[in-house]
Amino acid sequence: MKQPDTLSVLTKYTQNRMILVELFNQFCVAVLGFAAVIAIKTLNASEAEVVILTNGSQIVFLFAYILSAMMAGRSKKPFLIAAGLLTRLSLLACAFISDSLWFTIIVCITFLGSIIYIPAINALGQSNYRPEHRGRVTGNVTLWSLLTFVLVTLFIGSSLQRDPESYKWLFPCAGVAGFIAYYLAAHIRFRRKAALGTRRLSRSLHDLKCILKSNPTFLKFQLCFFIYGVAFMICMPTNILVITKELNMTYQEYSIGVMICGAMCIALLSPSTGRVFDRLGPTTSCAIFFCLLALHPACMYCALVFENIGLVYVSYVLFGIAMAGVNQSWLNGPMYYAGKEDSAVYMGIHMSNVGIRAILGSALVIIGNQAGTADGQSQLIPHETIYIASVILLLISAMCMYALKSPPSKRL
């Protein structure tokens, strides 16, 4: 007799296809992860450009609701293929770019692909995964995808260390890999055809108001994530500026200490944190991992004060442990609150929230890095102050999230 906890044939099929998709997608993601460091170390980019490249992948999420609403009730296939052609393949232009401004523009165009990809994959998970298995399956896919990310990151770091100009062929290769990922994702079968009704833009904007009004817990969930997100968005670009300007880390040190330490922890712990999500639900599990994440800016503060690169490595290990759990609620939370509605719309709202806080966080960092004295020797807002603010905001978001106490998925 089949055990109730066994994954269905459809779930296994989707999981295996998504692992293949993510092998290609993570090659592209890994290369893009070096964009801000390449801009500042090789292309002499301004601090504003570095902040945009660091938070740009989240800033574009501002438009996610509009596009996800357009996808609601429709086949996701043409949207994914168009996104692959128009955004991922734009990286081919990097073979001819040596200017930081054009590099920033091309990379930001590439970021736009995710606002199609993520809602589409979220709708796929809603269709093909049982609610009580979503965390586990997401964790399994994340494990294999991030192991690929780690291997690719090692290769990219060593390539850039030998030749800083190697980005001119790495980014075009990433564009091709990204297109292949989107093409493969477009051909994964959905359990049920889209039958929830298509929407006009005006109707979709009306539905946005209705969703938030009729589902107040989802609204509170978004507000908690907004507080966490502001902390995240002011911390990440500050990390890049500290790592490159204050601590002078090399490409090799950046790839190992920043990208691999965090990714390995996320990869290895994602199957376990997926089960935590299935058991505790999105809010309680998120509260726990928000608290753990507060250790990351605290450790980066110490790394800056004591000028210790080793503490950067420790901070990203803590970051990876925490984000392995946060990612589960980020990815599966919209499915949880959507119920039987098309989760692409809920994910669109979720992602648009990211875009708003990314713009706010980026603006704060850009303003904070303006000269605070006439001689330009200090920032208007010191990096240490930003790290302290991040810790406080993360702890506040954890307390607010815990107060929601949503039930586990299997009780729905």
One-letter amino acid for residue 265 of the chain: C
CB 353 within 8 A of CB 226: yes
Residue 401, in any domain of the structure? yes
> What is the per-residue pLDDT for 342?
67
Q: For position 112, which CATH number holds?
A: 1.20.1250.20
Residue 1, in any domain of the structure? no
Nearby residues of 122 by Cβ (< 8 Å), 6 or more positions away: 331, 334, 335, 343, 344, 347
CB 319 within 8 A of CB 296: yes
Residue 325, in any domain of the structure? yes
Record the tokens describing residue 94, joined without a space. Answer: 């990097």
Would you tell me the crossing angle of helices 343-368 and 216-241 to the nearest 10 degrees? Answer: 40
> What is the per-residue pLDDT for 306?
94
User: How many Å is the maximal CA-CA distance in the chain?
Assistant: 76
Query: Which range has the top average pLDDT, 356-360, 366-370, 379-383?
Result: 356-360
One-letter amino acid for residue 240 of the chain: I
CB 56 within 8 A of CB 108: yes
Burial class from Cβ neighbours inside 10 Å (0-12, 13-18, 19+) for residue 208 reads middle
Within 10 A of 246 (CB to CB), how many other CB atoms are there?
12
> What is the per-residue pLDDT for 338?
78
Within 10 A of 174 (CB to CB), how many other CB atoms are there?
26
Within 10 A of 89 (CB to CB), how many other CB atoms are there?
17
Percentage of the chain lying above the pLDDT 90 cut = 52
Of 130, 140, 144, the closest CA to residue 25 belongs to: 144
> What is the per-residue pLDDT for 407?
61
Across the range 31-43, mean pLDDT stands at 93
Quick: pLDDT tens for 157-178.
999 999 999 999 999 999 999 9
CB 384 within 8 A of CB 301: yes
Within 10 A of 380 (CB to CB), how many other CB atoms are there?
12
Domain count of the fold of the chain:
1
> What is the per-residue pLDDT for 90?
96
Provide the domain limits for residue 100.
Answer: 10-411
- C-alpha span between 208 and 211 (Å, rounded): 5
Quick: pLDDT tens for 390-412.
999 999 999 999 988 766 654 33
> What is the per-residue pLDDT for 92?
97
What residues does 72 pair with on adjacent strands?
none
CB 285 within 8 A of CB 328: yes
> What is the per-residue pLDDT for 378?
64
> What is the per-residue pLDDT for 311?
95
Residue 3, in any domain of the structure? no
Record the tokens describing residue 401, joined without a space. Answer: 């999230």
Across the range 192-220, mean pLDDT stands at 64
CB 110 within 8 A of CB 90: yes
Quick: pLDDT tens for 70-129.
887 788 899 999 999 999 999 999 999 999 999 999 999 999 999 899 888 888 888 888
Residue 298, in any domain of the structure? yes
Total-model pTM: 0.81
Residue 88, in any domain of the structure? yes
Three-class DSSP labels, the chain: CCCCCCCCHHHHHHHHHHHHHHHHHHHHHHHHCCHHHHHHHCCCCCHHHHHHHHHHHHHHHHHHHHHHHHHCCCCCHHHHHHHHHHCHHHHHHHHHCCCHHHHHHHHHHHHCCHHHHHHHHHHHHHHHCCHHHHHHHHHHHHHHHHHHHHHHHHHHHHHHHHCHHHHHHHHHHHHHHHHHHHHHHHCCCCCCCCCCCCCCHHHHHHHHHHHHHHCHHHHHHHHHHHHHHHHHHHHHHHHHHHHHHHCCCCHHHHHHHHHHHHHHHHHHHHHHHHHHHHHHCHHHHHHHHHHHHCHHHHHHHHHHHHCCHHHHHHHHHHHHHHHHHHHHHHHHHHHHHHCCCCHHHHHHHHHHHHHHHHHHHHHHHHHHCCECCCCCCCECCCHHHHHHHHHHHHHHHHHHHHHHCCCCHHHC
- C-alpha span between 119 and 65 (Å, rounded): 9
Residue 399, in any domain of the structure? yes
Residue 2, in any domain of the structure? no
One-letter amino acid for residue 6 of the chain: T
Query: Is the confidence at residue 376, as pLDDT, over 60?
Result: no
